[in-house]
Structure 1
């Protein structure tokens, strides 16, 4: 976000207060999505959840695109293969995330999700041709220590949900790297259109294979919340990054952990484990170390 838009043009002035307000919206959206995702899975599996979530998002995106001056012309893409790969990874990551919120405490899932930038560091040399430096390896090592504090192997039994949380972060990391490549060719609405369309198709096909279940009328409001927050969370996060650099916005996201932990405690009687918070702080420290290294190189 800090790159110059035109040669010699000054960087946009950082507005941390506006970024904080947008991050409040992002955190509220992610929290509501977790709660509604749990409610929906009382009747539907993750594939059915993703189908309805993506279908609701698709309707909203098509309405916005149709009302804009360029209309449906702006959803034409020159890189359909990249869109397909991106959405396969994002679909897998989001399914694993929704599975994780059902089987491990919400705070643990969010803490494991914070490893996303560390996976970007490790995978970028393979996908983007970046150099894996000693500093980046140290970032990954520190992040791994944080993961051990969160999952506490040997102290608490490891659950498939812990692996799901880590793999979800990997899927989201691959999604981010592919999105960066796609944005060289396509706009935001194009990305959102193909995301919601393709993931609705993925969800429908897998739902039909596993046995499609129609949601009850009582479940409809929760499905609507999932669909709306799926778009609002990422819109708010992107807007926050538009008002302040990632080095300022990223620490704000740490507020999501105590909030989701309190929600888990109030609604689901999940324990407030201090080691989860310590592990998340270690993971975020690794992320901060990585961002600091990027600023020095710049």
Structure 2
């Protein structure tokens, strides 16, 4: 892998995190005005159209994209991601972008913790120590017993758990399915699931909000395209640490646009979680090379 490609991959990852942060801000606005299920459903319609278009252009076309060695696991992945998106958007509306993302950043730690029972991978004492320190960071953010505890604070933690499980299942099915197959199943299964639930919550939207909805759908497609390109041109271990920039961008958006506050405990806790997550990524890279 050349240095130029690595730089390009890092640049694409930074752009990806910025786009996803904007997407989260738009989601918070729309879900504050309309039902979350409907908002996510429409977003998935465009996402499904995007993945179908991508699959049609790959070798073998749609017929190859549909064929999976793990259809039930692929279905579970699609459902997990769709409902994780719903849960996270609920967190944005009720908790805000800053605190939701601060808690959600623990998902790489959950991936490391669950990789043993789910994938049979060995997690050494160094990574277990980092996982423990990371969850101390989560407790610093949530401050249970120090202030009146809001149950909504557990929502992004649930989303992080669902996203971690989704990531582990993605790694598992990668043993037999190409990335294009997993991408196709993610979009189509999610669209079917959200249509089955979201249509029950349909409500009319204003013309300006349809514009925001169009922007949401475009950012979803553009963000995923940049993410795919990032992993195509650079090693995942080189670009993955930069995914934490989404916390920075989303927090800046929450503070400047939605008038949220960055509490000291949230900043400190998020810093602890990010450092622990970066250490687990580094250890995973060292182990892979060794």
Same fold (TM over 0.5): yes
* 1:280 equivalenced with 2:262 (yes/no): no
8 Å CA contact 2:105–2:273 kept in 1: the answer is yes
Which residue, 208, 212, 233 being the options, matches 1:222? Answer: 212
**Aligned partners of 2:193 and 2:65: how far apart in 1?**
19
3-state SS of the aligned residue for 2:32? coil
The equivalent of 1:59 in structure 2 is 49
**Aligned partners of 2:13 and 2:285: how far apart in 1?**
22
**Aligned partners of 1:124 and 1:275: how far apart in 2?**
29
The equivalent of 1:171 in structure 2 is 162
**Aligned partners of 2:193 and 2:255: how far apart in 1?**
34
> Post-superposition shift, 1:244?
4.2
> Post-superposition shift, 1:167?
0.9
Which residue, 109, 121, 138 being the options, matches 1:118? Answer: 109
Paired residues for 1:140-159 under 5 Å: 140-159=131-150
CA RMSD, aligned part only? 2.2
8 Å CA contact 1:149–1:275 kept in 2: the answer is yes
CA distance 1:244–1:168, shift in 2 (3 Å)? same
Range that drifts further, 61-70 or 119-128: 61-70
**Aligned partners of 1:190 and 1:90: how far apart in 2?**
16
**Aligned partners of 2:59 and 2:227: how far apart in 1?**
25
CA distance 1:207–1:76, shift in 2 (3 Å)? closer
> Post-superposition shift, 1:120?
0.9
Which 5+ residue runs of structure 1 have no aligned equivalent? 1-11
3-state SS of the aligned residue for 2:159? helix
**Aligned partners of 1:137 and 1:23: how far apart in 2?**
27
The equivalent of 1:85 in structure 2 is 76
Q: Deviations over 1:53-81 (max 9, x none)?
A: 11011122223333456332222222211
The count of aligned residue pairs is 286
Which residue, 2, 5, 21 being the options, matches 1:13? Answer: 2
**Aligned partners of 2:148 and 2:228: how far apart in 1?**
37
Range that drifts further, 58-67 or 259-268: 58-67
Which residue, 30, 33, 36 being the options, matches 1:40? Answer: 30
CA distance 1:60–1:246, shift in 2 (3 Å)? closer
TM-score by length of 1: 0.86
**Aligned partners of 1:269 and 1:124: how far apart in 2?**
38
Which 5+ residue runs of structure 2 have no aligned equivalent? none
The equivalent of 1:23 in structure 2 is 13
**Aligned partners of 1:256 and 1:69: how far apart in 2?**
33
Query: Which structure dedicates a bigger proportion of its chain to helix?
Result: 2
**Aligned partners of 2:261 and 2:280: how far apart in 1?**
31
TM-score by length of 2: 0.88
